[in-house]
Amino acid sequence: MKHIKFYSDGSCLGNPGPGGYAAILCYQSHDGQEHEKTVEGYQANTTNNQMELQAVISGLRALREPCQIDLYTDSNYLKNGITSWIHQWKRNGWKTSNKKPVANRDYWVELDALARNHQINWHWVKAHNGHIMNERCDEAARKQAYLAKEQSQA
């Protein structure tokens, strides 16, 4: 299996508001060369957490084969959601611990389906704390968010 380092981040101006996301995927080909692929996009009206989810969903969609992935996010919501909370949600009909419907259910379902094809190690990194790749994702996602803002003003 290819081993991939997968960095992701989302941004949302105003929250809710125009948002963007970015994922950077790094891997080595057979001859030992480093490769890097960036996946990014934006949405006119969204939330910070939706963009964090979308970043990973879009990155995983770009993979054509099962991979072993080290995935880095600064979102506790995202990491805990997919590694822990989701098991309970599937069991209890997608209810929060306060019995309210889980938000962003569609995103979680799609993320779960995509993640199933790979072996993912989830890593949480603190935002704006000197992690170079996380900061690159942050900048790319923010740039996309500003694109979304311009589009919606035009």
| Nearest CB to DNA, comparing residues 9 and 27 | 9
- Residue 106, marked binder: no
Q: Can 138 be counted among the known catalytic residues?
A: yes
Rounded Cα gap, residues 1 and 24, in angstroms? 19
DSSP-based helix, strand, coil % in the chain, nearest 5: 40, 35, 25
31 is a catalytic site residue: no
Closest Cα to residue 132, out of 12, 21, 28, 26?
Answer: 26
Q: Which does 122 bind (CB under 5 to 8 A by kind): RNA, DNA, none?
A: none
Query: Is the Cβ of residue 63 or residue 115 nearer to DNA in the bound state?
Result: 115
80 C-beta neighbours (distance < 10 Å), count = 13
The answer on whether 36 is annotated among ligand-binding residues is no
Residues of this chain that interact with RNA (CB under 7 A) are 9-15, 17, 19, 48-49, 52, 74-77, 98-99, 124, 126-128, 138, 141-142, 145
Per the annotation, binding residues are 9, 52, 74, 138
